[in-house]
Amino acid sequence: MASLNKVMLIGNLGKDPEVRHTASGTAVATFSIATSERFKNKQTNEWEKKTEWHNIVLWDKQATLAGQYLTKGSTIYIEGRLQTRKWQDKNGNDRYTTEIVGNSLEFLSTKGEGSRSGGGDSGNESTGSSFNEEPPFQDDDIPF
């Protein structure tokens, strides 16, 4: 039977990406993006806004580019797949994290958008550029 695991989002970063490196030197960037929807409450007849937060993981070249050019508030388009990881907390309890592993990223913010300290210029010379790359399947290399 065929299956499909694909996520497409346009949203804004909630904070600057955190870039780490695996033991083998592969860059991994993690950050969250917010997506919002507006709807009319049928009981109050008022417009309401609902925001969802999505955890994003980028690998290798995309991770490096995200660390260089993305800042809190940046708008991006991301394509990827859903992945749920199992891990243990400090007390040995099993925990699960669902995240989007990106394989296509496009910067949608114009140069200077976002909130990087030091003048607000994100240095995003690649506005509107796409970066397509299949992430490696190295779950055992995740440094966190």
Could you give the count of Cα atoms lying within 13 Å of 69 in the half-sphere of its Cβ?
23
Q: What is the pLDDT of residues 53-102, one digit of tens each?
A: 999 999 999 999 999 999 999 999 999 999 999 999 999 999 999 999 99
* CATH code of the domain occupying 7-141: 2.40.50.140
Beta bridge partners of 81: 101
Model-level pTM?
0.74
Q: How many residues does the chain have?
A: 144
Instruction: Give the pairing of strands 47-59 and 94-107.
Output: parallel
**Domain spans of the chain?**
7-141
For the chain, how long is the longest CA-to-CA vector? 56
What's the CA gap between 94 and 26, in Å, rounded? 26
